[in-house]
Structure formats: C-alpha cells, structure tokens
Chains A and B, each alone.
Chain A
Amino acid sequence: MSTSLTAQDFFQQVQDGSALLLDVSPAHAYSKAHPAGSYNVPFHRRGWGQEIKRALNGQTPPLGVFADNTVIAEAAKESLTAAGLSVPFTFDRGVKGWDQEGLPVESVKDLTVDELARNLDNYVVVDVREPYELRSGIVPGAINIPIGQLQGRASELDRSKPHAIICASGNRSASAASWLSQQGLEVANVVGGMSLWMGGRHPVERV
C-alpha cells in the first residue's frame, strides 16, 4: 500500500459519512464478503472513473478503493484520479486483509437455484432485469423491478417477508440485494440467476 492513511483512519471517515469506500471487485466477490459500509462498483476499463464522477453528481468526497489485487486497485485509482477525483486511500489485500486489520466485514446471503425452487412459496422473488429480458422467461410469480428503479420503488416491497433477488447471472442482483439489505430488508441473492435457474430445468413462466 502506498498510502499514509491507515485502514482504520479511513474507515472512521466512512463511518462519519465524510468519505466513500468503493469495493471495485466483481459483484460475486462483493456479495460473498465486503467491508461494512462499502459500495460495489466493479472496475472496468471503459471510462469507469468518469461514470463514478457522474454518479457523484458534483460531490467530491474523498474516495477509498478496495480490491483484492494490486493490479486492479492501481488501475481503479488511476481511473478515478484521471477523472479529477481524490483517492487518498487504496487497499489491495481483500477481505482477508480487511479482517486482519480488525475491521468489520458484511455479506449478502446466497441462495442457490435449487434452494429457491424447493422454497418458492416462502420468498417474494424480485427480478431486477430490464423488461425486455423477461421474454426469455421468469421464475413463476416473480415481480419485476429493473435495477435502475430500485431506489424509487423499494417501498413497494413487503418488509415482513424474505425476498429472493434474481437477474440474468447473479451480478446485478448481488448489488441490488446488498443495497436492499442496507435498507433493512431480509434478502438473499440467487447465485447464477436465471442462467442457472433455466440450466437446472426449473419451471419458468413466459410473460
């Protein structure tokens, strides 16, 4: 790590609400475990820093980059810096390293497609794909809230029931599930999404 700020220092700022910690890992890894209070923005090389700058909407909080690999952490920092954002903290030792620092880790509950099929009656299934994607079939009874509308429509969900969040492959649903979980809902992410649901020959409803 080439930063003078310790993980403890930076985490304190995240808890104060004065800094943002970005977990740049793929959604699968984030879903399994991530630093408490971090946001998942998987890194890519197509203007990633600019995307984050736009999402921040004029705000310029100090940003921390969290990754489990030096190459990815450095590339993410470079992309943010090139977009004019300030990155006083990077961490490249993953969840294991975070845990070794004595800092809290959270996770999103996983649900396999077989577990969901066996307990379908117990879950409200929320499909976060775009409407056109539903033509390939949905889990019977699933409701559709495209991920972009989730913040505005989370109030439609019944807080007394457990929710199974699903998408095409389990990536978007992992992000959605972690956000809903932070809002206090009981949620689980369906691993592998509709790809594994259909691969496992589970029933689909055509819409």
Chain B
Amino acid sequence: MIFIPIWDGSHGCASFIVGDDADGRAIVVDPLAAIGADTYILSAAEVGLKIVGVIETHVHADHHSIARELAQKTDLLVSMGHKAPLRDAFNPLHDGDQFDLGGVQVTVWETPGHTPDSISLVVTDKTRSSDPWLVLSGDSLFVGDVGRPDLVDPTPESTERAALDQFHSVHDKILSLPDTTELYPAHYGASACGGLFLSPKPISTVGYERRWNRFAQITDPQAFVTEVLSLLKPPPVDASLIRDHNLGSQQSH
C-alpha cells in the first residue's frame, strides 16, 4: 500500500493519497486548496499512481475544498456521501461501497453526525491481512475529540439530533474496528471543526482513543449528547460562506 498524508497545519486539515503500488491506482481524500490540485496529481504520479477517485468525507464548512478542480483535472466526478446537498453532479457513495485498488480495498461507511452526508473510509491491505489497517474517520472520531454537530444547522433540535447520530457513528461504527486500526481524522490542532479536546497530533489508533478519548468513555447516548452540547465552541464566523462555496458552482449571490 502507498499512503501519503498531506497536512495543512495552519488550518488543522488533513488530506490523503491512498493507493496500491502493485496496481497503480489511487484515490485522493479531502484535497485541500492550500496544497493545490496539481500537487496531488504530481505526488501520485511520481510514486507510480494514477488518480481514479477524488473523495470528500463531507461538505466542509471550515476550509475551501479543491475536490472539484482536482476531479476536473483528472477527468473524474467528485465522490461523496449520497446525502450531500451538492449543486454540481457528483458520484454518490452508500454504506458498503468499495473502491477496489488491487491489493488495497477502501470501504465506505456512512458516519453521520458532523454533517448528514459524512462518511468514513476503512482501508485494508489484503496482501498483508484482512484486518482493516487504517480508517480515514473524517469528522466523526477525532484524536481526543469528536466532530461538532452544529455547523450545518445550528438550531437546538438539529444539533441534538446530529449529536445523537455522532454517538452512533463513533460507538457503533468507528469503535467497532480492531484496536490496532490507525485513525486518521480530517482535522487536528487548530481546526474549527473539533471541540475543546481536539489534539494537535494528527494520528492515533482506535485502541488508544477507545481507552483515552472522553467521548469514547460515554456509553449512554443521551449522556454523550449532553456532554457534546455542553462543550460546544462558538462556530467559525465564515462557516456558512465556506460551506456555500463548497456546495458547488451554481450559487445564488
């Protein structure tokens, strides 16, 4: 497997190239405007990989996405959770969908909470083991925290419903993975999408978070929701503008 994390520390954003050197195909996950579309194309090419998928784990509200430009330059459609309210055409992903990259298999898990369209990607290197090796958890389970539930619709009812979705995504899905599974969330450090406990460290394991993430310790759904809501930070000022930009080209100004 070839796995290249590409981080933008100034915004606390993570993006990834996942591919199979024995097969020559790769996907790019959550490409960042701060890095630039061309960097992903050239970084993949020089390790022998052709980009066959451009995936967003959700509609981002904290940074400009470059997924559309990258998809255009690689003759692809952006792939996203089927619930994404995008204005442009995209390739809708459903729970259990797979990207088959030869020895590397990427499985889509719907993990709503931060947004209704949020997905996580479970990555297995079949040449090593049938165990998942890593999960790109998007904005579900973070290192030390969970993705905030209030950026799509800040009303109390919606936020509470989203927090409950996040409980199930984190506890029933991400935390069902083996302890040895590496965890690569979409954010770390300074990101506005996490809470007060978001670690500046970009990587963890499912086992470490199971043991030490305060939200993994709360097994009662309602107690989880209460804790998440009581710890909310103020929303980033430009969240709705950025989200609108990321929703697609046909904007009504």
* Interface 9-mer from A11-19, A130-138, A141-149, A192-200: A192-200
- The answer to whether A171 touches B41, judged by C-beta atoms less than 8 angstroms apart, is no
Q: How far is the CA of A25 from the CA of B126 in the complex (A)?
A: 26
The digit string for A24-43, where 1 denotes a CB below 8 A from any CB of B, is 01111100000000000011
- The answer to whether A43 touches B23, judged by C-beta atoms less than 8 angstroms apart, is no
Contacting residues, chain A, for B21 (C-beta < 8 A): 169, 171, 195
The verdict on A199 contacting B42 (CB below 8 Å), with A29-B24, A171-B21 known, is no
- The answer to whether A27 touches B48, judged by C-beta atoms less than 8 angstroms apart, is yes
Listed by A's residue number, 7 A-B pairs whose Cβ atoms lie within 8 Å are A27-B24, A28-B24, A72-B41, A169-B22, A170-B24, A191-B22, A192-B103
Contacting residues, chain B, for A169 (C-beta < 8 A): 21-22, 48
Indicate whether B127 reaches chain A with its CB closer than 8 angstroms: yes
- The answer to whether A71 touches B22, judged by C-beta atoms less than 8 angstroms apart, is no
Q: Smallest CB–CB gap between B251 and chain A, Å?
A: 26
Partner of A72, one of B23, B45, B128: B45
The verdict on A199 contacting B23 (CB below 8 Å), with A26-B50, A171-B48, A192-B103 known, is no
Indicate whether B74 reaches chain A with its CB closer than 8 angstroms: yes
Contacting residues, chain A, for B22 (C-beta < 8 A): 169-170, 191-193, 195-196
Contacting residues, chain B, for A25 (C-beta < 8 A): 45, 50
Contacting residues, chain B, for A198 (C-beta < 8 A): 127
CB-CB nearest in chain A for B70: A71
- The answer to whether B127 touches A195, judged by C-beta atoms less than 8 angstroms apart, is yes
Contacting residues, chain B, for A50 (C-beta < 8 A): none
Contacting residues, chain B, for A199 (C-beta < 8 A): 103, 126-128
Indicate whether A181 reaches chain B with its CB closer than 8 angstroms: no
Partner of A28, one of B23, B38, B74, B127: B23
Indicate whether A81 reaches chain B with its CB closer than 8 angstroms: no
- The answer to whether B41 touches A42, judged by C-beta atoms less than 8 angstroms apart, is no
Residues of A in contact (CB 8 Å), total: 26
List B residues at the A interface (Cβ < 8 Å): 21-24, 37-38, 41-42, 45-46, 48-50, 73-74, 102-103, 126-128
Q: How far is the CA of A171 from the CA of B52 in the complex (A)?
A: 18
Contacting residues, chain B, for A28 (C-beta < 8 A): 23-24, 48, 50
Q: How far is the CA of A42 from the CA of B24 in the complex (A)?
A: 12
Contacting residues, chain B, for A68 (C-beta < 8 A): 50
CB contacts under 8 Å to B, within A36-64, are: 42-46
Q: How far is the CA of A173 from the CA of B126 in the complex (A)?
A: 22
Given A71-B42, A170-B22, A192-B23, 8 other A-B contacts at CB below 8 A?
A27-B24, A27-B48, A28-B48, A42-B46, A44-B45, A69-B41, A71-B37, A196-B127
The verdict on A42 contacting B48 (CB below 8 Å), with A29-B24, A69-B74 known, is yes
Indicate whether A107 reaches chain B with its CB closer than 8 angstroms: no
The digit string for A83-104, where 1 denotes a CB below 8 A from any CB of B, is 0000000000000000000000
- The answer to whether B49 touches A26, judged by C-beta atoms less than 8 angstroms apart, is yes
The verdict on A42 contacting B45 (CB below 8 Å), with A28-B23, A195-B103 known, is yes
Q: Smallest CB–CB gap between A174 and chain B, Å?
A: 9
Contacting residues, chain A, for B41 (C-beta < 8 A): 69, 71-72
